[in-house]
Structure 1
Amino acid sequence: MQKRRILLVVLALGILIVWRQLHKEEEAKLIHLTGETMGVVPYSVKYLDMAERDYKEEIDSLLVDFNQSLSTYIHDSEVSEFNRTDSIYYRTPYFYPMLNISKDIFEKSEGAFDPTIGPLVNAWGFGPEKKSTLDSALVDSLLMTVGFDNVLFDNKKAAKLPGVYLDFSATAKGYAVDVVASFLEEMGIHNFMVEIGGEVVCNGKNDKNTYWKIGIEKPDMSPEMSDLYATTFVKNTALATSGNYRNYYKEEGRIISHTISPYTGYSIRHNLLSASIYAPSCALADGFATACMVLGVDKSIAMIESNNELEGLLIFSDEKGNLNYYASEGITSIIEIVE
């Protein structure tokens, strides 16, 4: 009886192998789409599709609508209108979810992530407006307008206190990745990788039937592309990385990074160089990675370990000036440090 069962299993496997050889043309094909969004931010979308459908036109259209809602660089965008007025009724499907996501990250990071930091981001020269001539009085004045609890909203409209300015740049790329990923799922595609400016969502497996493998850059302030510090499999989740080694300038011998602390109003200065966060959505991963860059190593570890939705890889400079890292327990098996 046992031998008969084994023979039946072997026969079934043999039939499956022969069938797959005869129907290779019916296997899902890898589609790779590339382009730019948010000005000059590159995107890369890969997915497996039996019908070989090309969704570039639809994806580009989605991203145009997305930017028309949340880009502070577009004068008539939804967020720009909100920043000029005291309240608005939503006119796109993106603004209200972005407010909800922002509130969640703001509260769980104890204010380290705060999209009302916009006036200070602009003043320091990292927004759509020209850099201001800064002194402590101006920083203190702008800091008084910062605080996401100054934004009130429900599912129909949003309002804010005078002087409050929203800037979703810390989560926009991640949220855009989620929007494209949701579109692919609606189209019946379940094996894909969506990447915008380094932030990714991966679902299912690639054309080699393995989980999608993503590289994490070595923090390096040289203008050229850095070497890899680590590689990681991304299994049905999102991954976003934030760091201060790309977007910065030097002023009077001091490095001014693009991460402005909502606590102090000044550019952050600590030994955390890069934060890569895994989360259920890319908007969450993006926002929490930004929060880490404000908090520094120890407080970021505490935040990651207290939130069961998050995993993280933090790269920092140790006491001897060498690169070191922290990896949370849930990702140790899928992270490989590049020697």
Structure 2
Amino acid sequence: MKYFSIFLLSVFMLVSCAEKTPEATVLQGDAFGTTYTIQYFSERGFDAERGLDSILAMVNNSVNTYMPQSDISKINQGDTTVVVDEIFKEVYKISERVYTNSEGYFDPTVGTLRNAYGFGDMAPVTEIDSTVLDSLRRYVGFKKVALLENGKIEKRYPEIYFDFNAVAKGYGIDKIGQFLEAQGVSSYIIELGGELLAKGKNLKKDQYWIAGIEAVDSQLENRSYLATVYLNNTGMASSGNYRKFRINPRTGQKYVHTINPLTGFAEESNVTSATVLAPTCALADAYATAFMAMGLERSKKLLEEIEGVEAFLTYSSEELEGEEQGQFITDGFKKQLVSNLAANGE
């Protein structure tokens, strides 16, 4: 009987150890001009911070327009000798894909216009009239650039200015995710500047990771959310004009940060915010920007044509009263909403 009791105690100890609640490792810091929080579950230790710093440095050195010595800055300054690395090539090809699918509403050569309106890394133009706009639009158009087989960039005009900011942050998040997976991590969530990539589950709660969709009228000091969504092995990014705008101090004119590459105007479409789920954070990042420029009907049409991309769009309309916002949610996105899944017992 003594041996049987010892055996039972051993089994109980093994079960207790096995059922111990997993604890996530949490990393926090600054990157790409914003902050990040990373949570992951791992059974073994590794130097995550060193790997993270290495990834951030490589992305910055390749596609960060705010670093004068980065490859993209040298290209923007007219250096034709630069041979770009794999990071630049991948970001370029992602941008080309979304540019094609959006019929030009997403265009990373919009940098000249972004700078002119005061949203880039150069002093804004004092006043943008039709004459100035026509001259600036000459230097916008992804079909006016090419990635050559030798790794060099060819530009029709030296003044063409690349701006990958609408995809580079999401791409950087994807690279961090790849690093974690190379270390054997299968459950993690990366949040950087409000954009996310999640894989596996929150093992502590034994459920998929959850993220909030911020309301258009949300305040920085008191954030409010329209809905919450489960992230099932997906990237998520949001874009909106409710905070990112600039007032010309001389004319009083308001410029929103979403620029229509086809017209050159920094103008609001009827889409007031776009939250996108996609297989990668880079794609979610790029499509969120595209939908803001495209407007509701074009965005709905594109969402019907592409696979693997889901969206939660808010929009304004003359049919809505006052500050009321309409909502368009794809069926795939609806399936991931926390309230829907909870109602179905999932």
Pick one of 32, 38, 59 that aligns with 1:38.
32
How far the C-alpha of 1:212 sits from its partner, in A, is: 0.3
- More displaced 10-residue stretch of structure 1: 213-222 or 277-286: 213-222
1:315 aligns with 314
Higher mean displacement: 86-95 or 255-264: 86-95
**Pick aligned residue for 1:51 from 29, 32, 44:** 44
TM-score (normalised: structure 2): 0.87
Which one of 199, 204, 209 corresponds to residue 206 of structure 2? 209
Q: Is the 8 A contact 1:28 1:49 kept in 2?
A: no
Per the TM alignment, residue 179 of structure 1 is displaced from its structure 2 partner at its CA by 0.8
Q: Find the partner of 2:119 among 117, 126, 130.
A: 126
Does the C-alpha gap of structure 1 residues 22 and 271 become closer, same or farther in structure 2, counting only changes over 3 Å?
same
2:5 aligned partner: none
Tell me if the contact between 2:84 and 2:152 (Cα under 8 Å) persists in the aligned partners: no
Shift of 1:323: 1.9
1:337–1:81 CA distance, 2 compared to 1 (3 A): farther
Select 2:16's aligned residue among 18, 21, 28: 21
The residue correspondences of 1:251-270 to structure 2 (distance < 5 A) are 251=248, 252=251, 254-270=253-269
Alignment partner of 1:325 out of 314, 327, 338 = 327
Counterpart amino acid of residue 21 in structure 1: S
Of 238, 243, 247, the match for 1:246: 243
For residue 325 of structure 1, what is the amino acid of its counterpart? Q
Farther-moved stretch of structure 1 (285-294 vs 221-230) = 221-230
- Unpaired runs of 5+ residues, structure 2, are 1-9, 341-346
Report Cα offsets for 1:276-310 as digits up to 9, x if no partner.
11111111110011000001111111111111121
Q: Specify which structure has the higher proportion of strand.
A: 1
Q: C-alpha deviations, 1:58-105, integer Å up to 9, x for none?
A: 202211221111111111101001112263443533101011111000
Distance 1:328 1:96 in 2: 31
Corresponding pairs, count: 322
Cα distance change of structure 1 residues 212 and 222 upon mapping to structure 2, 3 Å threshold: closer
The answer to whether the Cα contact below 8 Å between 2:242 and 2:272 also exists between their aligned partners in 1 is yes
Q: Distance in 1 between matches of 2:277 and 2:11?
A: 37
Amino acid in the other structure paired with 1:190? S
Residues in 2 aligned to 1:262 and 1:83: alpha-carbon distance in whole angstroms: 18
Q: Structure 2 matches for 1:132-211, cutoff 5 A?
A: 132-133=125-126, 134-154=128-148, 156-162=151-157, 163-206=159-202, 207-211=204-208
- 1:94 is aligned, of 87, 92, 112, to 87
Q: Given the alignment of the two structures, is residue 81 of structure 1 paired with residue 74 of structure 2, yes or no?
A: yes
Q: CA deviation at 1:223?
A: 5.2
How big is each residue's C-alpha offset from its partner over 1:26-55, in whole Å with a ceiling of 9 and x where there is no partner?
A: x7531010111123x111111001124451
For 1:5, the equivalent position in structure 2 comes to none
Counterpart residue identity of residue 280, structure 2: S
In 2, distance between residues paired with 1:55 and 1:173? 19
Q: Aligned-residue CA RMSD in angstroms?
A: 2.2
For residues 238-277 of structure 1, the C-alpha deviation after alignment (integer angstroms, 9 at most, x for no partner) is 1111111121123455431111110111112233111011
Q: What's the CA shift for 1:140? A: 1.1
The separation in 2 between residues aligned to 1:38 and 1:196, in whole angstroms, is 9
Q: Distance in 2 between matches of 1:266 and 1:302?
A: 23
Partners of 2:46 and 2:183 within 8 A in 1 = no
Report the Cα distance in structure 1 between the residues aligned to 2:328 and 2:73, rounded to whole angstroms. 38
Letter of the structure 1 residue corresponding to residue 15 of structure 2 = R
Task: Answer whether contact 1:28 1:52 (CA < 8 A) is retained.
Answer: no
| 8 Å contact from structure 1 (residues 221, 246) kept in 2 | no
Deviations 1:136-162 (CA, angstroms, capped at 9, x unpaired):
211111111100111111453322112
**Secondary structure of 1:292's partner?**
helix
- Describe the shift of the 1:23–1:222 C-alpha distance in structure 2 as closer, same or farther (beyond 3 A): closer
2: distance between equivalents of 1:214 and 1:170? 20
Aligned-partner Cα distance in 2 for 1:275–1:297: 10
CA contact (8 A) 1:72 1:79 kept: yes
Q: 1:20 deviation in Å?
A: 3.5
Q: Which moved more, 1:47-56 or 1:118-127?
A: 47-56
